[in-house]
Homo-oligomer: A and B are copies of this chain.
Amino acid sequence: MAHELEQKALADYLEDHNLKHTRQRAAILEVFLEATGHITGEEIYQRVKSKTPSIGYTTVYRTMKLLCEAGLASEQHFDDGVTRYEIEHEHHDHLVCVRCGKIVEFECQMIEAAQDEIVKRHGFRLLRHRHELYGHCPACRRKEKED
């Protein structure tokens, strides 16, 4: 099985919390990890279904919530109102192509510093942020010119 490390992390989390290790949970984590990230609940459901037809939406959503709690996944909400799950990793933001849906991650130290300054100026305590740039990716810009 691929992704042994993450399956191990899940097993540890389940054990620590007196939760059970089930076929469905392993299958959902597997599908999630195989995706390039930024996958929706619906997509996970469809892919798990092709191998385990008895799966329900309920289990997918519940398991993804659990993976988030376990620190393996995190939720992203882009402009279309659908929750997407990505592999949890350090601070980064997103560049989204509104034509083809391509998502690129970026990090910018300068922006982080500017944010801290703004937060401080307003006396807030920063918990998290969200920064998304929407536009057309290089491939779509090329297609536009052809149209």
| Residues on B with beta carbons closer than 8 Å to the beta carbon of A106 | 118, 122
Oligomer: number of copies: 2
Q: Interface size (A, Cβ < 8 Å)?
A: 33
Given contact pairs A81-B81, A131-B129, A132-B130, A124 touches B97 in the complex (Cβ within 8 A): yes
| Cβ of A70 under 8 Å from chain B | no
> Any chain B CB within 8 A of the CB of A134?
yes
- Residue contact A123 to B110, C-beta cutoff 8 Å: no
- The reply to whether B130 and A130 contact each other, CB–CB distance below 8 Å, is yes
**Contact between B130 and A131 (Cβ–Cβ < 8 Å)?**
yes
| Pairs A-B, 9 closest by C-beta atoms | A123-B138, A126-B135, A124-B135, A131-B131, A125-B136, A127-B135, A129-B133, A130-B132, A125-B135
The B-contacting residues of A in range 104-147, CB under 8 angstroms, are: 104, 106, 108, 110-111, 114-115, 118-119, 122-138, 141
Report yes or no: B114 in contact with A114, Cβ–Cβ below 8 A: yes
Contacts of A79 in B (CB 8 A): 77, 130
CB nearest to A109 among chain B residues: B114
Chain B: minimal CB distance from A41 (Å): 14
CB<8 Å pairs between A and B, sample of 23: A77-B81, A79-B130, A95-B118, A98-B127, A104-B122, A104-B124, A111-B115, A118-B133, A119-B133, A119-B135, A122-B137, A122-B138, A123-B137, A123-B138, A123-B141, A124-B138, A124-B141, A125-B141, A127-B134, A128-B134, A129-B133, A130-B132, A131-B132
